[in-house]
Structure 1
Amino acid sequence: MSDEIVTNLDRDADTTTLSLAGEVDVLTVDQVRVALEEALADRPREIVVDLSELSFIDSTGLGAIIFGFQRARDAGIRFRLAHPTRTVHQILMLSGLLEVVEVTP
């Protein structure tokens, strides 16, 4: 487990992008939840979670992603995951999340 996660929000007119770098686990998931809350508060047309620099995500991190997805859906905001690393893509696939949340390579 790690306490190393970097979250960065990038906003433009229609899209808020949340970039995650490092590892999302029980020690860092609260930072991800806070960043998702901030992204949702912007009420953009779309939220993109960039996973290109994410090396690991555990079940608590998956739960945070599901939370963000559900809140976005309820608010009429498009929500997608982008650029997962091979390792993270496998975790998303095994979790079944790929069947629910849109993922772009």
Structure 2
Amino acid sequence: MDTSPSAGGHSAKPNSGIVKDTRRLGDAVVVDLAGDVDALAARELTAAVAAALEHRPRTIVVDLSKVDFLTSPGLAALVESHQMAGQDTRLRIVATGSATLRRLTITGLTDELAVFPTLEEALTA
């Protein structure tokens, strides 16, 4: 069975690390994260975005709504993911609360990254 994002399946096993799920929704790929985004998890995030980019989606949404702690390497991974997406793919971030949105705001990254309060808004913007 093909479980790649382009087949509409899941490419990450639940509870396999910080990336809890990667799925295709229409012409977007959603990368769901949960837990603490530390240095190790940041590498997992950029690897998941790189894998999603291989399928050339119009949009990649990184959903941080279940993230408990976002470290500096996690913020750097979001910037790197934005750079990897380039001009052809829109990278959107779902972030709420002090664990994620506050960190993105105080670092000024909300001015550089497309940040949304919900997955629905990130997909329809």
TM-score range, shorter chain: 0.7 to 0.9
Comparing 84-93 with 59-68, greater Cα deviation is found at 84-93
Aligned to 1:34: 47
Unaligned runs of 5+ in 1: none
**Partners of 1:66 and 1:83 in 2: CA distance:** 14
Output the TM-score relative to the length of structure 2. Answer: 0.74
* Runs of 4+ displaced beyond 6 Å: none
Identify if the C-alpha distance between structure 1 residues 13 and 53 changes in structure 2 by more than 3 Å, giving closer, same or farther: same
1:102 aligns with 2:114: yes
Query: Which structure has the highest strand share of the two?
Result: 1
1:78 aligns with 2:90: yes
Larger radius of gyration: 2
Instruction: Indicate the structure whose relative CO is greater, using CA pairs within 8 Å and at least 6 residues apart.
Output: 1
Unaligned runs of 5+ in 2: 1-16, 118-125
The percent identity for this pair of structures is 36
